[in-house]
Amino acid sequence: MVQKKQSDRQQRLDNFLQAVEAAQKVQDDIMKYGLEAAYLYCDDVDGDWLETWGEDGDGQQNFVELVTNFLQSDDLVAVRLRKQLKDKSLQIIAVDLEKCLSLSEEDDQIFPVKNVLAGSVAVAESNRGTSSDEIDETDLLDLAEELLEKLVDF
């Protein structure tokens, strides 16, 4: 009888510890991936999305994680992009890029990407000089084009 109570108590403790671990994982994912993780959790609380977060069907990393890793790299395009969007987190930039690339056709992707890049600065027309807070629209389009070339692999 005493052994059964200890076994039941141990089982409840194990269940509690698993629940705490799951809650900590959700909290970590929300901190790491932002509100997208919270929305996924709310939409599919009973599903297995948490176990497969960051993986597609083949077990590969998802687009946002790949782009975030690229943006952290020393690649010249990544460095220019970080400088351009210094006020935004890399995670938010990656999510914004994923949204604009998924919503537009392949031929028209440069303009949504340019809009993501222009999100934090005023854009000057090509025939005017630029101040420190403005970037030439041609430079912005060039950066967007170079970024799209890099993102093709993802």
Residue that wins the pLDDT comparison between 50 and 75: 75
Which amino acid makes up residue 148?
A: L
Between 123 and 3, the more confident residue is 3
Q: Which DSSP string do the residues of 35-55 spell out, in sequence order?
A: HHHHHHHHHTTTSSTTTTTTB
The mean pLDDT value for 30-35 works out to 76
Q: What is the DSSP string of 105-129?
A: -GGGTHHHHHHHHGGGSEEEPTTS-
What pLDDT does 124 receive? 43
CA distance 10 to 151: 50
What single-letter amino acid sits at 127? N
91 in Cβ contact with 68 (< 8 Å): yes
130: which DSSP letter?
A: -
Residues 73-130: pLDDT tens digits? Answer: 999 999 999 998 888 888 888 888 888 877 667 667 888 888 888 875 444 444 444 4
Rounded CA-CA distance 60/115 in Å is: 28
Q: Which residue has the tokens 């948490």?
A: 50
Lowest mean pLDDT among 2-11, 17-26, 54-63, 136-145: 54-63
**Beta bridge mates, 39:** none
Cα distances (angstroms) measured from residue 86 to each of 47, 127, 137? 36, 26, 18
Q: By three-state DSSP, how is residue 124 classified?
A: strand
**Is the pTM value of this prediction over 0.85?**
no
